[in-house]
Every structure is written in C-alpha cells, then in structure tokens.
A = this chain, B = another copy of it.
Amino acid sequence: MTQLLRVQCFGVSSDGFGSGEGQSFEHPFGHANPVDLLGWAFPTASWVNRTEPGGSRGLDDYFTRDMPRGIGAEIMGRNKFSPLRGPWENEDWRGWWGENPPFHTPVFVLTHHERPSFSLSDTTFHFLNAPPAEALRQAKEAANGLDVRLGGGATTIREFLDADLVDTLHVTVAPVELGRGERLWHSSDELLDRFHRDVVPSPSGFTHLLFWRR
C-alpha cells in the first residue's frame, strides 16, 4: 500500500485564511473565532474532542470520522503547536491539548529551534528542523506503513504543496471572511492543475473541498 500524505479537516475562511492575525495563548487562531472556522465539526459524533455521547452522524461526521483512519503520524508547524516564537526559553510548553492529546501517534513539529522529544499519553512530540521532504521521510518511517496527516497551519500546508508532497486534501470553507491572517490560498482553483476537486456543500453551512492527485 502507498503511504499517503493527507490534509484532513483543515478549515479556512471564504477568503482563504486558515487562522487570523495575532495568535496568543488566549487566542490560538488570532482574531479568528475557532467556531467560525471549524463549527461544522464540533456537533458531530466523531469529533476528537467530544466528551459527551450523542452527536450528529450525517455528512459532516464522515469527515471527522475519517480524520484518524489509517493515520500513523502527524506533521505540524511550530505555530500549530505553540503561540511562542523564537528559541524556547524552557520546555514547559507541551502543546494546547492537555495530558491526552488527540493524536495518539508520533507528531513531528517543524521548527528552527529543536528541543527534546516528549510523550503525553500515547502521543510523542518530536521537534525537527528539516525541509518538507526530509520531514515526510521521517514521519513515514515512524508511521509504520500507515498514512501521514499534515496538520497545518496554512503556511506548513503551502510548503508541502510547493514541494508537491501532498496526496489528498480535505479543506472546509467557512461562510465568513477574515480579511487577514495566515493564508492557504487566494482561490482553491490554484490547485486544479495538479488535483481533482469535489465541492460538497454541507447542511451545516460549510463547504467541504476534497482534492486528490490527477
């Protein structure tokens, strides 16, 4: 089986931003409201952070349900891992996700400032100063034959797209504009020279875009 590099459940605004400006500890998405960008996912039965039983099992749930399927490792950018910039002053910051992060696999954090690996429950974070192809090589090795998820943010996804390393993308377009922030694209048409695209409007008001290689 081929090991794929998959973007899953990545949310952008209608004007193409994956997060707003001014990320901080209190505002992981900057001036963007996470509910505006990802609100389609939270009511679904399979949303990773769901703590209560129940939830919807319609179209949107197919996408939250598919997010962990066959994934053996994740790659993410430094800014998805942390609101801090530059060299680490200490190693106190261990991600946004508490003692049981929703990854359950090795996670490779791309950063110019490496630090020792650590584990929280069944997730191990590695820190890697490497170009996309080398990061993917290491993540595939760690994934043990399974696929690798490219977790974002937008800048990280763009870097892997520029290196032509991405096999499939599931991006949700929110019915809001952000005006500024971290941009994934001006238009998803930019990907059509290399990818097929299905456009799937959801009853939740979001639109699911599905891309796979031509």
Contacts and interface: CB of A to CB of B under 8 A. Distances in A.
Given A63-B62, A66-B65, A69-B69, A56 B203 contact: no
A130 to B, nearest CB: 27
Contacts of A63: 62
B69 A210 contact: no
Contacts of A2: 53
Interface residues of A, number: 23
**Number of this chain's copies in the complex:** 2
B200 A59 contact: yes
A25 to B, nearest CB: 34
Interface in A59-78: 59, 61-63, 65-66, 69
A113 interface: no
Contacts of A45: 212
Interface string A187-207: 000000000111010110000
Given A200-B200, A203-B198, A65 B69 contact: yes
A58 interface: yes
B203 A58 contact: no
Contacts of A62: 62-63, 66, 210
A57 interface: yes
A206 to B, nearest CB: 13
5 contacts: A45-B212, A56-B196, A57-B196, A59-B200, A62-B66
